[in-house]
A and B are shown apart, each in its own frame.
Chain A
Amino acid sequence: MEYSAGNVDIAVVGAGHAGCEAALAAARLGMKTLLFSMNLDSIANMPCNPNIGGTGKGHLVREIDALGGEMAKCADKTLIQSKTLNSAKGPAVYSLRAQVDRRWYQAEMKNTLECQDNLFIKQAEVVEIITGDSCRVTGVKTHTGAVYSCKAVILTTGTYLKGKIHVGDISYSGGPDGLFPADRLSDSLREKGIELLRFKTGTPARLNGRSIDLSKLTEQPGDEVIVPFSFENHVIEREQISCWLTYTNSTTHEIIRSNLHRSPLYGGMIEGIGPRYCPSVEDKIVRFADKEHHQVFVEPMGLGTQEVYLQGMSSSLPEDVQTEMIRSLPGLENAHIMRSGYAIEYDCIDPIQLKLSLESKKIPGLFSAGQINGSSGYEEAAAQGLIAGINAVNMIRGREPLILDRSQAYIGVLIDDLVTKGTSEPYRIMTSRSEYRLLLRQDNADLRLTPKGYEAGLISEERYKRFLDKKDKIEEEIERLRNTYLPPSEEVNALLTSLGSTNIRSGISIAELLRRPEITYRALEAVDVDRPGHLRRDDRRKYDPVAEQVEISVKYEGYIKRQMIQVEQYRKMERKHIPENIDYSAIHGLRLEARQKLAKQRPVSVGQASRISGVSPADISVLLIYLSSRPECADD
């Protein structure tokens, strides 16, 4: 029986990392928002690794925060270990990563949702999307027949759609982490003409940490100083716990090799496409047969549990093989497996059917974010969720969507890659996917994006004021460094010598001196007598975001300028808009493949068109020639 259960503005289907951000953004922007989850105890769950951040991903978390999202704040509250990766490899690739207490994180996020005005949470499975005139979304229906009318729907279904679990030759219908799958929504989407893909991902076993002999493993402690994810937090003082490292060996590899025929991947039972960056251990051993050892990290799942996660041992081999191979690792001889590793197959939307706003091209009012869009990872999901939430609101209010381009944010790179190029495997962000990564640093995410978050309405006046104040301080200090000259005094030269630098013979600006690789901003403090008090060393606050920003901006100015020139080039093509009503079949000289791809995807700009696979530079020349002959297609 169907019944009318009421009206909301926005319905969000799924309360994982994408759903939480989407629902919070929508509600905070004043929309009556209803968030569905099949099981409220799985809100903001981390069914795979218990950590947030990492290369590229840490950048996303900072961008989410700069725009007014929640993930960074929640991670800061619940992290139990923090690291800055790549600290020696240059500021563009510094990446924050934290081990997080999984249950604590969930509880914090659930409570944040519950405390949010305009936001309502409902345990239910959404089984149908209801559409009205010209395919526009009008509501959703749950498994109990409740029909909610709404103006926009955001799908954030993760790996639940027709989820299928594989453990060796056993397979059954199921969602992640022992939860139920969502079997009916896929059909509803397909009926509406949405093309679905079938992807696969997997997770390793969880062990009882007490069954591991840690003396045989290498300790991996956190960093001394915890750098917070959120720009709103400055100091986090918390006791950290360690991860542990062990290695596979020839015995492990032999066990895997002799059981490959029992793997659903190699046995042909799995049709879904898995991610290359998250290979199962059997995959690694087959593809890199000459490698003698593979690393395995033991990561704690939280403070209030003994359960640990085995990073590097993702597997869908049968349970008995998993036990045998895990017990072949040094220190894990007596390991007790609490949950087996598994592979999961699921339906997702082919993301080329989406606009850059994450709205469906076919069904107005239908947005989607996260794994359903072919991505992978909590951070990728949260980033899309935030954008989908903001843009659902913009759509309802008749405002322009928030679209970040590739030169503004990793979020822009992520969404443009998915929507423009599509993906043939679950997509993970990486710093090398960005063309301008020296500009898209994690340290300047607020400078890049907080004004956008403010404009969108997710940054409070108070926070925005603090942001402007920080920005002013940075600019003032850079200006001061450019105009303050140090004399070739004995004191200055003695300092330079002690830093392994060459002496100066005439006055030199501090900015100039700072460009020397061996000189840091902190090191010059003693001779920089005019340095403002708030930028002087303070042992209580070991990390200063203003000083960091000043140092990077001055030190790498030349490179930063060069990337900005490249950005200008890129933007020229992005500004060449393609009219919505363009008829590709009328353009002489486009190759058939390009014509079909362009007609199907309907890119908004020549820049976007040039990134569609199957569209060659020659096609772009033809397109440019065609557009230049149409006066209405001038640049804007």
Chain B
Amino acid sequence: MMFNGKGSFGDFDTIAAISTPYGTGGVGIVRISGPGAFGTAARIFKGRRDIKEIKSHTVSHGKIVDPADDRIIDDVLLTKMDGPHTFTGEDVIEINCHGGIVVLKNVLSLVLRQGVRAAGPGEFTRRAFINGRMDLAQAEAVIDLINAKTDEGSRAAAAQLEGRLSERIASARKSLIQLIARIEAVVEYPEHDIEDITGDIVYEGVLKIRDELQEISEGFERGRLLREGITAAIIGKPNAGKSSLLNVLAGSSRAIVTDIPGTTRDIIEEYINIKGIPVRFLDTAGIRQTQDPVESIGVERARGAALSADLVIIVLDGQTGLLPEDLDIIRETAEKKRIVLINKTDVADEERVQTMKKRLRESGDPPVVVTSMVEGTGVDELAETIERLFVSGDIGLNNEVIITNVRHKQLIDEAISSLEEAEAAHTGGLPLDFATIDIKQSAEFLGQITGESVTEEVVNEIFSQFCIGK
């Protein structure tokens, strides 16, 4: 077999790493890949059968035993997979461990003691790519998967991994190639009675494919949210409950919460999963006039954070009503996506809260959520509001293609703008040949995502679709 160790691909060494499965599985995996994978497994795995007798792509139960002192490390499920039909294209062993992170690390270090090298980040993927097991789009999706910060992120990455992006790009590209072939058939064989293709037909075709690409491209903004998360600055005057909000959201005492105004003097960050979107919350110093030089630096930073954040959460104290500095903040953030929280409703006067709501409607009408950090009320509504603001409600996470890779987004956008050039060539009255140049360019950009060239395909398409030739 081509990949089983001593074959012609024996020039890679054997690597291993802990790889956690997609999503939030409780079981961890130690994966070994390379020519020495089976030999390593044979030394440390004690099951009903010897490694070499285990069939490829089957799971076996057994124990991991340190050959140095016969100590049992874990009770495991081991999967043996012969190359090249594996993720990396090489021989692969996967050891499913039960015993949590400490045991995982012990198994890994045992594997490494057998002369296996610890894999670098993304090294399995690199091998998979080099061994032709995945195209560029898929390889990049795996890298995204490794870096994905929350579950939705992993699912988008997993969907991309399965090639949905590749599939849709390939289908748009195929349509372009067919369109080019139609034009080229007429151009190469001008005297054959092939139905002449008019600029209008080409134009229609171009518009349709452009819309399709536009749709894919729009998926990127959402992909970016899933991948990089959004930044939300929590601001408000001192002691309105900003740090408490963060603590409630994070479920731990990350920020220092006291009832002395101005406790948070710098920015505190926390990544929190809100409805599948990784949100980076910045807890800022309360914004107020202050003589304390340290605190005033904090206040400046808070304003800076608010201005560069994707979302501003303004926390108001329900007890005090709307103060002039609250209105200042609301005015300053008029251009931003924002949510106003009226906090401390457990102790605040109901009528005062209503008045605040009314006045907020008059001053820019930001989305308002009434909360009590002490009782934990309103937090779900806040999460829903965040989701609504950023994913405009109607984007289901299940079936769409989400681009999470900047390179893909750029190439798709280039492909779109080439098609726009083709439209301009048509509307500008240029001969068909110019639009063809743009359409080819567009197909070329899409091909860079999956790694294909246009010319040969066009020629093949011409001859398969049209009866031409002397």
Residues of chain A touching chain B, judged by Cβ–Cβ distance below 8 Å, are 49, 55-56, 85-86, 88-93, 95, 275-279, 284, 287-288, 291, 293-295, 297, 311-312, 314, 421, 430-435, 437-438, 517-518, 556, 559, 562-563, 566, 588-589, 591-592, 595, 611, 616-618, 621-622
Contact = CB atoms under 8 A, between A and B. Distances in A.
B451 to A, nearest CB: 4
Contacts of A435: 440, 455
A295 B191 contact: yes
Given A312-B470, A433-B455, A55 B9 contact: no
B136 to A, nearest CB: 7
A145 to B, nearest CB: 41
A274 to B, nearest CB: 10
Interface stretch (B216-224, B379-387, B457-465): B457-465
Interface in B5-40: 8-9, 11-12
B2 A91 contact: no
B318 to A, nearest CB: 59
B455 A432 contact: yes
B429 A49 contact: no
A90 B433 contact: yes
Contacts of A92: 433, 437
Contacts of A617: 136, 451
Given A86-B187, A288-B467, A314-B470, A432 B462 contact: yes
A86 B189 CA distance: 9
Contacts of B186: 89
Contact of A556 (B189, B434, B436): B434
Contacts of A86: 187, 190
Contact of B2 (A434, A556, A588, A592): A592
Interface string B444-470: 000000010101101100110001111
Given A49-B470, A276-B469, A432-B455, A89 B428 contact: no
A240 B193 CA distance: 24
B434 A430 contact: no
B462 A55 contact: no
What interface size band does chain B fall in? Answer: 35 or more
A277 B192 CA distance: 12
Interface stretch (B126-134, B162-170, B287-295): B126-134
A312 B189 CA distance: 12
A295 B193 contact: yes
A93 B187 contact: yes
Top 5 A-B residue pairs of the complex, sorted by shortest distance between their CB atoms: A90-B433, A90-B431, A517-B429, A617-B451, A288-B467
Given A89-B432, A517-B430, A591-B132, 13 more contacts: A55-B189, A88-B431, A89-B431, A90-B433, A95-B190, A284-B469, A421-B456, A430-B459, A438-B437, A559-B437, A589-B12, A589-B131, A621-B130
25 contacts: A55-B188, A55-B190, A56-B188, A85-B191, A88-B431, A89-B187, A90-B431, A93-B187, A95-B190, A277-B468, A279-B467, A287-B467, A295-B192, A295-B193, A432-B455, A432-B459, A433-B459, A435-B455, A556-B430, A556-B434, A562-B437, A566-B441, A588-B11, A618-B136, A622-B130
B309 to A, nearest CB: 38
A563 B190 CA distance: 24
A279 B469 contact: yes
A277 B190 contact: no
Contact of A311 (B180, B437, B470): B470
A297 B191 contact: yes
Contact of B467 (A90, A294, A431, A622): A294
A182 B8 CA distance: 43
A276 B463 contact: yes
Contacts of B456: 421
A535 to B, nearest CB: 23
A271 to B, nearest CB: 21
B184 A432 contact: yes
Nearest to B11: A588
A434 B431 CA distance: 18
Interface of B: 2, 8-9, 11-12, 129-132, 136, 180, 184, 186-193, 428-434, 436-437, 440-441, 451, 453, 455-456, 458-459, 462-463, 467-470
B467 A91 contact: no
A588 B437 contact: no
Contacts of B462: 432
B193 A293 contact: yes
- Pick from B132, B180, B433, B441 the residue with the most CB of A within 10 Å: B433
Contact of A91 (B184, B433, B455, B468): B433
Contacts of B451: 616-618
Nearest to B131: A591
Contacts of B436: 90
B428 A517 contact: yes
A450 B322 CA distance: 82
B187 A278 contact: no
Contacts of B12: 588-589
B396 to A, nearest CB: 34
A564 to B, nearest CB: 12
B130 A618 contact: yes
B36 to A, nearest CB: 16
Contact of A284 (B11, B431, B467): B467
A379 to B, nearest CB: 14
Contacts of A297: 191
Contact of B430 (A90, A93, A563, A588): A90
B117 to A, nearest CB: 14
Contacts of A91: 431, 433
Contacts of A437: 433, 437
A294 B441 CA distance: 33
A592 B9 contact: yes
A278 B469 contact: yes
A450 B453 CA distance: 31
B29 to A, nearest CB: 25
A90 B434 contact: yes
Nearest to B13: A588
A618 B458 contact: no
B131 to A, nearest CB: 7
Contacts of A312: 470
A488 to B, nearest CB: 22
Contact of B190 (A85, A275, A566, A616): A85
A270 B158 CA distance: 51
A432 B458 contact: yes
A618 B190 CA distance: 39
Nearest to A515: B428
Contacts of A56: 188
Contacts of A288: 467
Contact of A559 (B129, B180, B434): B434
A245 B458 CA distance: 29
Contacts of A556: 430, 434
A616 to B, nearest CB: 6
B450 to A, nearest CB: 9
A433 B12 CA distance: 39
A333 B470 CA distance: 21
Nearest to A438: B437
Contacts of A291: 467
Chain A CB count within 10 A is highest, among B2, B192, B436, B440, for B436
